[in-house]
Amino acid sequence: MALALGLGSLFNHSDNPNVQFSIDTSTESIRYTTTRRIEADEELCIFYGHKLWFHLAGQPSSAVALREKDGYENDDSLGGLDILQDIYCGSNPFKDGDPSDILQENELPFERIRVIPEDDSDDIDGAFRTILTWVVDVPDPRSITDLLKWMKSAGLETPELQHLKRIRRVDSLTTILLATASTSTPHSSSSPAPSIPIPANFLTSEPYTLEVPASAALTIPQVKAKSAMWPTIYAPKRKGEPEKWTRAKAAWAWDAVSTMIGAAEEAGKLGELPIASYVPASFVDSSNHGEMTQSFVAYDTRRTSAHPLRHSVMNVVRKIADWRASSSTPSLRSPDPELSDPTWVTSASSQIVSIENTLPPPAAQRNGSHYLLTSLTLFTTHEPCVMCSMALLHSRVKEIIVVVPMDKTGGCGGSSGKGTCVPRLKAVNHRFGIAGWKIDREMDGLTIDEDVDA
């Protein structure tokens, strides 16, 4: 093995390199030789090896992030360099360059899976899907403002109806859209929805149910067709347009993956399955204010706790919940014996791998935190099983980034993106983003049986 420093670390990669290299063990050096005539100003490139973590963009400059790396290892027989191990163990490649650069999709260290319900394409042409809602007629226009205010305070402004206008006027009759009639309960099992009780001081009709379009209008003809049923928002771009990531945020994700893999490998050494989940403190820059100031990591403890459901996702969700509960009502909450499942308490102490910041969140954030993973990104070494995928949906996680897909047991689409995918189910009331980490590297420390529920 040789480690190339100095000049050797400056070469970029090319699939069609103009420089080859060989190891001279007698002088402990690497010999670089041009393979063809080099034109003036032409960049000298070598071949790094086959296991590249980035997608080639055809230009050597696509590998610019590698330029400042510390060194690399020789991958002997192939004559390539196993750069991956080195990149991974070494510095964060996204720390170089302008941190505010928006990265192209193919420059990101992960690949996003589209999480759109199977039948969402139904309404591109002609027929469209509908949903059942509660509406109410308001004969007196003076009541409208108060009614809208009441709806807001009663929590009826749910995202599910964002694609619709709330008020319809036909001739002199005003109708207001109240809520969906097939209910969603925020955090638990649900039921058929009850009618909406409207305060008595509003002069309205009895609420009644009405079919309305299930999604926004994507085309002008759709605006007409859908608005004939109920006024519908025109949104020519499909929802779920991928969020832009800056180089600095990619660096944040890179560090998060490093921390998480470290935790999983640590778990493996302790006799647990090497599976870990990590919710880092929110990424903060000029346009992102961190919602979460603290990081949480947990690994799988099903073996030492003798509890088959102590998966890393469930463990990390529980840690965050416990932290939120304790930081929002610190004086009232003493440990309740009923809360303390002995197996949990035993394992909890060993799960804390790193807590980066112990400041409690500002008061304003505590109050609105009943959905505990709202706006947060969860990193996990292995695709979560169906139980954990739904736990993440209940917790309203914003997105998850997965290193190893679990095609037989996962609940987030598997390696093809076409397997069982809980957040893609039509009925569920929250969708979270899914991305697969792109590193192609030896991950022996993370190997688990493919039949395991992660």
Q: How far is the CB of 410 from other proteins (least distance, A)?
A: 11
Q: How far is the CB of 438 from other proteins (least distance, A)?
A: 27
Q: Are 313 and 321 spatial neighbours (Cβ–Cβ below 8 Å)?
A: no
Distance (Å) of CA 189 to CA 88, 184, 186, 428: 42, 9, 9, 11
Distance (Å) of CA 387 to CA 10, 224, 391, 394: 47, 42, 6, 11
Contact positions vs other proteins (CB under 8 A):
150, 153-154, 182-201, 206, 306-309, 314, 317-318, 321-322, 324-325, 328, 339, 341-344, 369-372, 385-391, 393-396, 408-409, 411, 420, 422, 425, 427-429, 450-451, 453
Return the DSSP state at 9: G
Q: How far is the CB of 406 from other proteins (least distance, A)?
A: 11
Q: How far is the CB of 306 from other proteins (least distance, A)?
A: 4
Length of the chain: 454
Would you say 91 or 343 has its CB closer to other proteins? 343
Would you say 13 or 324 has its CB closer to other proteins? 324
Please classify residue 343 by burial: count the beta carbons closer than 10 Å to its beta carbon, then call 0-12 exposed, 13-18 middle and 19+ buried: middle
Would you say 256 or 393 has its CB closer to other proteins? 393
Q: Write the DSSP assignment of 335-400 as a string of letters.
A: PPGGG--HHHHHHHHHH-------PPPPHHHHHT-SSTTTT-EEEEEE--BHHHHHHHHHTT-SEE
Q: In whole angstroms, what is the distance from residue 388 CA to residue 308 CA? A: 12
Would you say 36 or 408 has its CB closer to other proteins? 408
Q: In whole angstroms, what is the distance from residue 196 CA to residue 150 CA? A: 12
Would you say 391 or 401 has its CB closer to other proteins? 391
Q: How far is the CB of 131 from other proteins (least distance, A)?
A: 12
Would you say 179 or 401 has its CB closer to other proteins? 179
Tell me which residue of 268, 321, 269 sits closest to 452, measured CA to CA: 268
**What is the identity of the amino acid at 442?**
E
Return the DSSP state at 230: S
Would you say 91 or 420 has its CB closer to other proteins? 420
Q: How far is the CB of 261 from other proteins (least distance, A)?
A: 25
Return the DSSP state at 200: T
Q: Are 93 and 87 spatial neighbours (Cβ–Cβ below 8 Å)?
A: yes
Q: How far is the CB of 448 from other proteins (least distance, A)?
A: 13
3-class state of residue 30 by DSSP: strand
Q: In whole angstroms, what is the distance from residue 267 CA to residue 178 CA? A: 49
Would you say 172 or 191 has its CB closer to other proteins? 191
Distance (Å) of CA 373 to CA 56, 281, 421, 425: 34, 12, 19, 20
First to last CA, the chain: 35
Q: How far is the CB of 379 from other proteins (least distance, A)?
A: 18
Q: Are 302 and 388 spatial neighbours (Cβ–Cβ below 8 Å)?
A: no
**E strand or H helix at 280, and its extent?**
none
Q: How far is the CB of 371 from other proteins (least distance, A)?
A: 7
Q: In whole angstroms, what is the distance from residue 254 CA to residue 166 CA? A: 43
Q: How far is the CB of 338 from other proteins (least distance, A)?
A: 9
Would you say 63 or 313 has its CB closer to other proteins? 313
Would you say 59 or 195 has its CB closer to other proteins? 195
Q: In whole angstroms, what is the distance from residue 376 CA to residue 356 CA? A: 16
Would you say 95 or 307 has its CB closer to other proteins? 307
Q: How far is the CB of 270 from other proteins (least distance, A)?
A: 16
